[in-house]
Chains A and B, each alone.
Chain A
Amino acid sequence: MTLDSPRREALVMAVFAVVILTMPLWMAPFGASYPDLLQKFAIYGIFAIGFNILFGLTGYLSFGHAAFLGVGSYAAMWSFKALSANVLPAVLGGVLISGLFAALIGYVCLRRSGIYFSILTLALAQMSYNMAYSVLTPITNGETGLKLTQTDARVFDQLAGVVPEAGLPSTSLFGLEMTGYPGFYFCAVALIGAFFVALRIFNSPFGLKLRAIKSNQTRLLYTGFNPKPHLWVAFILSGMYAGLAGALLVVTDPLAGAERMQWTASGEVVLMTILGGAGTLVGPLLGAGLIKYFENIFSSFNAQTLHDAFSFLPDFLENTLVFLISPFVGHGWHLTLGVLFMLVVIFLPGGLMEGIRRLTRLVKARRDRNSDPEGAAVVPPSSVEG
Chain B
Amino acid sequence: MSETRDTISVPGSLPSVSRRGVLKGSLAVGAALGMPTILTRPAWAQSGFRNDPGSGATVTFGFNVPQTGAYADEGADELRAFELAVKHINGEGDGGLLKTMKPLALRGNGVLGKKVQFVTGDTQTKADAARASAKRMIEKDGVIMFSGGSSSAVAVAQQALAQEMGVVFMNGLTHSNDTTGKDRRRYGFRHFFNAYMSGVALAPVLKEELGADRRAYHLTADYTWGWTQEESLKNATEAMGWETVATVRTPLGAGDFSQYITPVLNSGADVLILNHYGKDMVNSLTQAVQFGLRDKMVNGKKFEIVVPLYSRLMAQGAGENIKGILGTKNWNWSLQDEASLTFVKSFGQAYGFPPSQAAQTCYVQTLLYADACERAGTFHPPAVIKALEDFQFDGTGDGPTLYRGADHQCFKRVLVVRGKMNPTSQFDLLEVVKEVPADVVTYDPNMFGGELGPYEV
User: Which A residues contact B (CB, under 8 angstroms)?
Assistant: 6-7, 14, 17-18, 21-22, 24-25, 31, 33-37, 40, 130, 133-134, 137, 142-145, 147, 150, 166-168, 170, 179-182, 185, 249, 253, 255, 257, 259-260, 295-297, 299-300, 302, 304, 330-331
Contacts and interface: CB of A to CB of B under 8 A. Distances in A.
A24 B121 contact: no
B127 A181 contact: no
Given A166-B453, A170-B164, A300-B133, A36 B139 contact: yes
Interface of B: 1-2, 4-5, 24, 27-28, 31-32, 35-36, 38-40, 43, 67-68, 118-122, 126-129, 131-133, 135-136, 139-141, 153, 156-157, 160-161, 163-164, 221-224, 249, 251-252, 451, 453-454, 457
B31 A145 contact: no
B344 to A, nearest CB: 24
A21 B31 CA distance: 7
A133 B135 CA distance: 26
Contact of A143 (B31, B136, B153, B454): B153
A124 B13 CA distance: 55
Contacts of A150: 451
Contacts of A24: 35, 38-39
Contact of A180 (B24, B40, B251): B40
Contacts of B132: 36-37, 40, 295-296
A180 B43 contact: yes
Contact of B136 (A34, A144, A181, A255): A34
Given A18-B31, A300-B136, A145 B164 contact: no
Given A143-B252, A181-B35, A302 B120 contact: yes
Contacts of A168: 160, 163-164, 453
A330 B122 contact: yes
Contacts of B451: 150
B143 to A, nearest CB: 12
B133 to A, nearest CB: 7
Contact of B133 (A6, A21, A296): A296
B32 A21 contact: yes
A31 B39 contact: no
Contact of B122 (A36, A179, A299): A299
A355 to B, nearest CB: 27
Contacts of A22: 31, 35
B179 to A, nearest CB: 11
Contacts of A133: 222, 251
Given A145-B153, A296-B136, A302-B120, A259 B251 contact: no
Contacts of B140: 31, 33-34, 37
Given A133-B251, A145-B153, A257 B135 contact: no
A34 to B, nearest CB: 4
